[in-house]
Amino acid sequence: MTDVMTDQATAKLTLDNGESIDLPVMVGSENEHAVDISKLRGKTGYITLDEGYGNTGACTSGITFINGEKGILRYRGIPIEQVAAKSSFVETCYLLIYGELPTQAQLDAFSKSLGSSAGIHESMRHHFQGFPDTAHPMATLSSMINAVSCFHPDIIDGSAEFDTVAARLISKVRTIAAFAYKATKGEPPVHPRADLDYCSNFLNMMFSTPGNDIELDPDVVQALNLILILHAEHEQNCSTSTVRMVCSSGANLFASVSAGVCALWGWRHGGANVAVLDMLDEIVKSGVSLDDYVTKVKNKETKLMGFGHRVYKNFDPRAKILAESADKILTKLGVDDPLLDLARRLQDVALEDSYFVDRNLYPNVDFYSGIIMRAMGIPTNMFTVMFAIGRMPGWIAQWKELRDDPTHRISRPRQVYTGPTERDYVPMDQR
Kindly list the catalytic residues: 309, 366
Q: Are 414 and 41 in contact (CB under 8 A)?
A: yes
In whole angstroms, what is the distance from residue 301 CA to residue 288 CA? Answer: 14
- Compute the half-sphere exposure of residue 6: CA atoms within 13 Å on the CB side of its CA: 7
- At what angle are helices 162-185 and 104-116 packed, to 10 degrees? 50
Instruction: Write the DSSP string, 352-412.
Output: H-HHHHHTT--B-HHHHHHHHHHHHT--GGGHHHHHHHHHHHHHHHHHHHHHT-TT-----
Backbone angles phi, psi at 127, to 5 degrees: -65, -45
In whole angstroms, what is the distance from residue 159 CA to residue 155 CA? Answer: 7
Q: Are 149 and 254 in contact (CB under 8 A)?
A: yes
Q: Are 20 and 12 in contact (CB under 8 A)?
A: yes
Q: Are 213 and 204 in contact (CB under 8 A)?
A: yes
